Every structure is written in C-alpha cells, then in structure tokens.
C-alpha cells in the first residue's frame, strides 16, 4: 500500500510569516491575528482537512540584520509584531478534538523547570495533543533583550540543548511514578509522596534539585519536533526528534536532508521510520489549472523584495542589503541558522541563485517549493515529492490567510483521499498516538 501523505499547517502568531508582502493582498486576513476567531476558525478548518497538527513558529527577537536595523521588518510586518504562540493552544483545542499543536519554544531563553510545567499543563488541557518544536534560536536580538551580549555560538547552543533535554526528560518521565496520584478521598491522600522523586540534576548549565510540579499528563513528554539540518542539528534530531521539518527549494535538496536525517537516526540506534519528516511547501490551487495559474500570478504581484531580504538576512545572519540583487549567493559561515544559507548556496551544486531569485523564491511560502495546479495536478506533485524524496508529509505554508488553507482542505484533501493517499479520519488518542500508535515516548 502506498505511504499516506501527512499535512501540518505552518503558522505563526503574527501578520507576515513565510510569504513577505502577501499581507497586502485584498483577500488576506493575517491582520486578524489578534482576534481569537481568526485562530478558532483556522483550527476547525484544519481539523476538517484531517491535518496532523498546526505548527506554530516563534522567535523572541526581531529581524534587524538587514541594513543593521529593524525598520524593514517593522514596515513590512516581517514576523513583527509577534504574539506568544502558547496562548493560542487552549483557544484552538477547545473547538477541536484531534488536531495537534506543535509549538515552538527557544530553549536558551526558558528555564527547563518552568518550561516543563508549562508543557505538562498544555498536555493536560489539550488531552495529550501538545508538541514542542525544539529550537535553539538564531536571532542575536533575542539574546540581547534577555540580558546576554550575544547568543551562544551555533554549536554551543546545541550543547546547551543536550543538557536541557536531559533535565526536561527527568522532570517529565522520571519524577512522578505512574501511580503517584492516588486521589483517595476516603484516606484523604491525593499524592503518595514516596512515588514522587526529586531529579537531583546538576550539570554544566542547569541545577534542578527538586521534582516536577505537574502530575503526569497523557503524553508526559510532548511530541518532539525539531528543525535544523546542520551537522549538529541533524545529530540532535537523531537523538531526540520524533518529527522534523525540512525546507529546501528542490526535491534534490530535500532528499539529501531526508537521507541524512534517517541515516543519523539509524546511527543513533533508532529505526529510520521512527522519524516523521515534513517538508515545507506552499500549494496554490483552484478548480482549473488556468485559475490556479492566474491565482499564482496574482499572489506574485504582492511579494515584497525588501521584506523577503529582511527575512533572509535574519535567518542567515548575513545582511543582504550589502549585495546587489544580481549577485550570486555563496555560502558564508555565520552564527545564525546554517541551513537557510546552505539550501541556496551549497545543497544543489547545479543551481546558482542570485539574491533577487532567492528573495522572489522565499516571497511565496518561504524556503519550500510552490506547487501550482488544479487538484489533480497538485496531488500528482505531492505524490512524486513524497515518493522521490522519502519524506512523510508536508508542512504547508500559506500565501493568503486563510484562503490558501481552505483551498487545500476543500480541493486537494478530497483528491488525495480518493487516491487512498490521505487519512479519511483521525484515530482516537493523543497526538503521539495518531502518528506512532503509542502515547509515551
């Protein structure tokens, strides 16, 4: 039987996430991000489309690398202003039963003790539908506003992340025995103290002597997502991630990421299939091919090159205002994210990108491909991406909120279901159970 195609929705609690400039489209509703109905409507739509999860990106800084200031980011609403993603989860979980929530939290800026409790709380309140996208951050501005001179170096952030995971696993998995909560009204005992254990963690970065404040939640450890395809990022994913996000402009780039990730997972002693890989993509579809192409052209007119370069500069740590638009992108080592630049400069030796081409490319749907066509053509492309690259599904960005997602749910999902390549219904249980058939890590 062919492998099912899985969908996540790639979103952020902001105006302009992955399609810089598209907020100016007359049908776009991204400016409604402060309205709770904007999110509950989206959650219900995605659940109708049997999406695995809504994935909420987040950063704790501003995109101020371009021209050395945040003016372009603020002017064009490039991931600024930006609200807290976690607050959206209870809203959306109240109006859905199965949709999962993958929430990004940058670990250098959250103490593991308080963060572990926040995740356990959300796992309780969503009945086991919370996931955590583990990120180490890439914006120096985040570090500066949290009292550091600059962020830790790229690889040191991953050293910190390794210890952070040790602490949160101890809190989530080892601190409370399964039968610690007895809830015995007759005896007047809620928790048996002998079954709750201090974790006694003392490491290079953290000291946490006590026990976890929350009682065990349905999944205990939230479903773990990770994105980051540098060698250190891949090694980290191999040890911890259950789902991973990759972004690349071509099948060739994405296949390489997928192959490397599965090899690393196997080298870490896990089964290659223990990792679900979602590739970023944007779908532009309509009932006919001509309408879909016209929609694509119409969307393209709203791409803002300066906004796209502000985004790319923030991701890479390289100020792209210093290069002419026709200059070719070469790899420059930086302490921000390494894969963003590598995907344009190194991953595909057959292709040289100019700055303008890269800006136009990320202008619609970020660093993933744009799949355009009628529902059958899009389904063909999705199938061939999945089959040729070895990924498990797609992390779908949008151009116009919520039109892009509505088009996918109403047009593409039924086509894929008819082909037997997309789930018709959810199975009961936690988010981890949906994906891996078990509740616990």
Ligand X SMILES: Cc1cc2nc3c(=O)[nH]c(=O)nc-3n(C[C@H](O)[C@H](O)[C@H](O)COP(=O)(O)O)c2cc1C
Binding residue ranges: 58, 104, 154, 158, 230
Residues 164-223 that bind ligand X (CB under 6 A): none
Q: For residue 339, state whether it binds ligand X (rule: CB under 6 A).
A: yes
Quote the radius of gyration of the chain (alpha carbons, Å). Answer: 22
Please, how many CA atoms are within 13 Å of residue 101, restricted to the half-sphere of its CB?
A: 31
Nearest-CB residue to ligand X? Answer: 233
* Interface segment toward ligand X; rule CB under 6 A; list 21-29, 176-184, 196-204, 336-344: 336-344
Residue 233 engages ligand X in binding (rule: CB under 6 A)? yes
Cβ atoms of 17 and 82 within 8 Å: the answer is no
Contact 167, 201 (CB under 8 A): yes
The site for ligand X, by CB under 6 A, has a size of: 22
**The one among 42, 227, 362, 413 contacting ligand X by CB under 6 A:** 227
Q: Compute the distance between CA of residue 222 and CA of residue 103 in angstroms, rounded to an integer.
A: 10
For the CB of residue 246, give the shortest distance to ligand X in the complex, in Å. 6
Site for ligand X in 45-104 (CB under 6 A): 57-59, 104
Do 408 and 294 touch, CB atoms closer than 8 A? no
- Residue 187 beta carbon to ligand X: minimum distance, rounded to whole angstroms: 47
Contact window for ligand X (CB under 6 A) among 178-186, 199-207, 259-267, 333-341: 333-341
CB 389 within 8 A of CB 255: yes
Give the residue with the Cβ less far from ligand X, 314 or 373. Answer: 314
SS3 399: coil
The DSSP line for 389-438 is H---EEEEE-SSTTHHHHHIIIIIHHHHHHTT-S-SSPPSS-HHHHHHS-
Q: How far is the CB of 278 from ligand X (least distance, A)?
A: 8
Question: Smaller CB distance to ligand X: residue 170 or 232?
Answer: 232
Tell me the window of 68-76, 200-208, 216-224, 227-235 that interacts with ligand X (CB under 6 A). 227-235
When the beta carbons of 155 and 380 are compared against ligand X, the nearer one is: 155
CA-based torsion, 281, 282, 286, 292: positive or negative: negative
CA distance 42 to 96: 10
217 versus 234: smaller Cβ distance to ligand X: 234
Q: How far is the CB of 161 from ligand X (least distance, A)?
A: 10
Distance of alpha carbon 84 from alpha carbon 76, whole angstroms: 20
Residue 133 CB, nearest distance to ligand X (Å)?
6
Tokens found for residue 360: 């136009």
Per rule CB under 6 A, is residue 229 in the interface with ligand X?
Answer: yes
Q: Provide the token pair at 145.
A: 């506003």
Q: Quick one: which of 9, 437, 17 has its CA closest to 242?
A: 437
The answer to whether residues 332 and 78 touch, using CB atoms and an 8 Å cutoff, is no
DSSP label of 288: S
Query: Does position 228 bind ligand X by CB under 6 A?
Result: yes
Counting Cα atoms < 13 Å in the Cβ hemisphere of 228 gives: 27
One of 121, 191, 230, 354 touching ligand X (CB under 6 A): 230
**Binding-site residue positions for FMN:** 58, 104, 154, 158, 230
Min CB(275)–ligand X separation in Å: 14
- 280 near ligand X, judged by CB under 6 A: yes
Nearer to ligand X, 135 or 292 (CB): 135
Q: Using the rule CB under 6 A, is 138 a contact of ligand X? A: yes
- Shortest distance (Å) from residue 240 CB to ligand X: 12
Identity of the residue, 341 or 411, whose beta carbon is nearer to ligand X in the bound complex:
341
User: Is 245 a binder of ligand X (CB under 6 A)?
Assistant: yes
- Exposed e or buried b for every residue in 391-421, given b needs 16+ CB within 10 A? bbbbbbbbbbbbbbbbbbbebbbebbbeeeb
Say if CB 19 and CB 293 are below 8 A apart. no
Taking CB under 6 A as the criterion, the residue among 46, 72, 130, 135 binding ligand X is 135
Helix (H, G, I), strand (E, B) or coil at 395: strand
Specify the residue, 59 or 416, whose C-beta has the smaller distance to ligand X.
59
Nearer to ligand X, 67 or 230 (CB): 230
For 393, the enclosing helix (H) or strand (E) is strand 393-397
Q: Which residues bind ligand X (CB under 6 A)?
A: 57-59, 104, 106, 135-138, 227-230, 232-233, 245, 247, 280, 337-339, 395
């Amino acid at each position: 039987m062919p492998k099912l195609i899985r969908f996540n929705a790639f979103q952020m609690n902001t105006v302009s996430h992955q399609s810089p400039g598209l907020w100016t489209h007359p049908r776009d509703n991204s400016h409604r991000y402060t309205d709770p109905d904007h999110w509950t409507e989206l959650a219900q739509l995605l659940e109708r489309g049997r999406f695995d999860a809504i994935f909420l990106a987040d950063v704790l800084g501003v995109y101020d690398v371009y021209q050395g200031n945040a003016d372009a980011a603020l002017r064009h609403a490039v991931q600024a202003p930006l609200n807290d993603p976690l607050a959206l989860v209870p809203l959306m979980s109240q109006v859905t039963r199965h949709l999962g929530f993958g929430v990004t939290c940058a670990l250098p800026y959250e103490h593991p003790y308080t963060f572990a409790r926040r995740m356990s709380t959300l796992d309780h309140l969503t009945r086991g539908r919370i996931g955590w996208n583990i990120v180490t951050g890439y914006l120096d501005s985040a570090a500066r506003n949290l009292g550091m001179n600059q962020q830790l170096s790229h690889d040191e952030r991953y050293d910190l992340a390794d210890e952070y995971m040790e602490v949160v696993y101890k809190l989530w998995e080892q601190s409370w025995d399964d039968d610690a909560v007895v809830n015995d009204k007759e005896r007047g005992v809620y928790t048996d103290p002998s079954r709750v254990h201090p974790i006694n963690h003392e490491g290079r970065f953290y000291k946490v002597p006590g026990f976890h404040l929350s009682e065990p939640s349905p999944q205990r450890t939230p479903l773990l997502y990770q994105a980051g395809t540098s060698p250190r990022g891949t090694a980290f994913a191999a040890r911890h991630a259950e789902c991973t996000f990759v972004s690349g402009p071509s099948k060739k780039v994405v296949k390489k990421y997928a192959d490397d990730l599965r090899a690393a997972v196997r080298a870490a002693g896990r089964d290659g299939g223990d990792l679900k890989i979602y590739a970023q993509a944007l779908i532009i579809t309509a009932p006919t091919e001509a309408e879909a192409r016209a929609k694509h052209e119409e969307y393209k007119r709203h791409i803002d090159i300066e906004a796209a370069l502000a985004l790319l500069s923030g991701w890479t740590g390289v100020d792209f205002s210093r290069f002419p638009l026709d200059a070719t992108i070469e790899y420059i080592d930086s302490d921000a994210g390494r894969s963003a630049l590598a995907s344009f400069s190194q991953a595909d030796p057959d292709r040289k990108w100019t700055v303008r081409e890269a800006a136009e490319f990320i202008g619609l749907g970020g660093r993933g491909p744009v799949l355009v066509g009628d529902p059958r053509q899009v389904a063909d492309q999705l199938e061939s991406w999945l089959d040729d690259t070895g990924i498990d599904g797609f992390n779908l960005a949008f151009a116009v909120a919520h039109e892009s997602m509505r088009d996918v749910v109403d047009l593409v999902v039924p086509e894929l279901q008819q082909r037997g390549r997309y789930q018709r219904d959810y199975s009961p249980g936690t988010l981890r159970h949906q994906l891996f058939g078990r509740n616990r890590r």
